[in-house]
Structure 1
């Protein structure tokens, strides 16, 4: 009897271990930066929401003893829409529970045209089912009909994700390739994108990177400075006690805590890619990064709570059937 109980206990522990096993992930390095990335997986993936691109979700990046990314939430709950505060916990819903530099594409292709039970597409996710006639909701979980054909290639200092999705019923289709590349001999990561339209309808919209920065888990506050190449203006009314814009800088007036929340659009940028350049620096941690893109900004936002700071640069795209678009985002990490 005792032996049976021991065998049963071991089996239970093994089962629990399998249930709690880490999601699929990969690590790459250039000897200076160490990058850990979650892999797309419809059954076991870290992120299986229907808002953000599944490819290249950064779990952590380390440079010079500093960690730049990680979870900004304490736990997840499928019943939560975006996120909520529960005592000292931050609880995220399935469409928001993601980490690091991650991208979202908008609009959801074909959603407005689809009838209930019809298909629409979210780039980076796949073909989704429209359940009713309500408006599209980014925080709403939709049923995944077809995640397309995905491949992952990894080499010295890079990892490449490829997804091919085609849905004749909606008229949309694409081949999306995303590569995270660590520059040889430098503390730099470049995210390279190519989006090819293989459907019969044009693909038009925008994409942005949410850039969930969790630098050494320090709460955003007066030690942080955001520097831009242009004189920035922000929506001061709802953020007046939390942040201010001074010429080309945005500064925090206090350390965020409790339910403090910063959300503002940022204006003042021009029509060239030179203004897609965001420097974020933390004087306490004595580290920072520069985020730059090779396309002009179409929009920019800043979102922050006590656990994370997110600068969100947007770019527009317009891709006719048979054509493709490419763009890059460069991340330069430094200490001082």
Structure 2
């Protein structure tokens, strides 16, 4: 069944909502023996997501493994330019908590959002993470795919001296329930690219509410930087909810306690009621870890640091292993 989406463009709010369906957005799907995933494609005119916060590639409205759904719509209000109207293991690049060249750009000038394009800096105010800026140039996007993989490439060259070729390849393993997100960032400009990247991991496992059935496992003992407001507690290396989150409640904390090697980029999130879990690993050391959740979604957000000098290329990848808990599968979680 295709779910309708109510879209409220600003110019039409006073008139009537526009009813869209998922089929109205450019999309492709990939499938392996055990996992199937759907993607919305980058498109400046018709794309599902046209905001300036998140990288436009890899938007995933659905990933299914053995009847369990891992990603999907977690928000009520949709607008293609809303900063977080997006789904899946989507990513954001941040330089000084802004974009490439934001601090140097004058009011009315431009700066770069990797995975989005060249955007306008309207004034001299600090960068606003949740604001959608005017896009001047989206660069050149291309997408190609096979049965069990899809690859997105964006090429952008700007007069500011920043330029890059950014490629994201998402592939499903043919023999096991595993997804790998591989990245390549080639610097074709004259300025060094220095940025962090994080994956927001908008998990909505089986669309069940966030509460005691949801457990997040860290490879280190997490040390929240703020009070968890009685909504959750740290037990050993696990984050556990004390009650089901109500509408309007949220949990946000930066988690300290990780080391300097890539072995600490290794997280699990499980829904122990539905019996589905996922393990997430990265091949770079952590630069920061944030955890955020509301009633409909739970998000471990690991950051890494990336530096690419002119003429060089940096590569990194994230690996997702999907599994059923022993009570649901009769087996063991991903080793």
TM above 0.5:
yes
Unaligned runs of 5+ in 1: 1-15, 79-92
Spell out the pairing of 1:237-276 with structure 2 (5 A cutoff).
237=227, 239-276=228-265
Query: CA–CA distance in 1 between the matches of 2:79 and 2:149?
Result: 33
Alignment counterpart, residue 59 of structure 1, candidates 58, 61, 66: 61
CA distance in 1, matches of 2:102, 2:194: 13
1:318 aligns with 2:307: yes
Residue of structure 1 equivalent to 2:174:
184
Pair 1:155–1:77, CA change in 2 (3 A): closer
Shift of 1:20: 8.1
Aligned partner of residue 24 in structure 2, secondary structure: coil
Q: Does 1:151 align with 2:109?
A: no
CA contact (8 A) 1:236 1:244 kept: no
CA distance in 1, matches of 2:209, 2:231: 13
**Equivalent of 1:34, from 33, 36, 39?**
36
* Matched residue SS, 2:157: strand
Q: 1:233 and 2:235 equivalent?
A: no
> 2:230, 2:242 within 8 Å by CA — same for their partners in 1?
yes
Q: Is the 8 A contact 1:25 1:36 kept in 2?
A: yes
Q: Give the Cα separation in 2 of the matches to 1:23 and 1:200.
A: 36
User: RMSD of the alignment, in Å?
Assistant: 1.6
CA deviations over 1:44-82 (Å, ceiling 9, x no partner): 10000000000111110000101111011122258xxxx
- 1:1-336 mapped onto 2 (5 Å cutoff): 22-76=24-78, 94-107=82-95, 108-168=99-159, 170-237=160-227, 239-336=228-325
> Unaligned stretches of 5+ in structure 2?
1-17, 326-335
Alignment partners' CA distance in 2, 1:21 and 1:313: 32
Question: Residues 223, 266 of structure 1: CA spacing in aligned structure 2 closer, same or farther, 3 A cutoff?
Answer: same
Query: In the comparison of the two structures, how many residue pairs are matched?
Result: 305
TM, length-normalised to structure 1: 0.88
Q: Which has the larger radius of gyration?
A: 1
Residue 141 of structure 2 contacts residue 154 of structure 2 at CA under 8 Å; is this kept in 1?
A: yes
Measure, in 1, the Cα distance between the counterparts of 2:36 and 2:20.
27
Instruction: State how far apart, in whole Å, the 2-side matches of 1:136 and 1:244 are.
Output: 32
Contact 2:225 2:256 in 1 (8 A): no
| Conserved 8 A contact 2:79-2:85 | no
Relative to the length of structure 2, the TM-score reads: 0.88
Q: Distance in 1 between matches of 2:144 and 2:22?
A: 26
What's the offset of the Cα at 1:313? Answer: 0.3
**For 1:270-304, what per-residue CA distance to the aligned partner results, in whole angstroms no more than 9, with x for missing partners?**
11111100011111011100011000001001000
Q: In structure 2, do the counterparts of structure 1 residues 30 and 265 end up closer, same or farther at CA, with 3 Å as the change threshold?
A: same
Residue 110 of structure 1 deviates from its aligned partner by 0.7
Cα 1:18–1:256 change in 2 (3 A) is: closer
SS at match of 1:216: helix
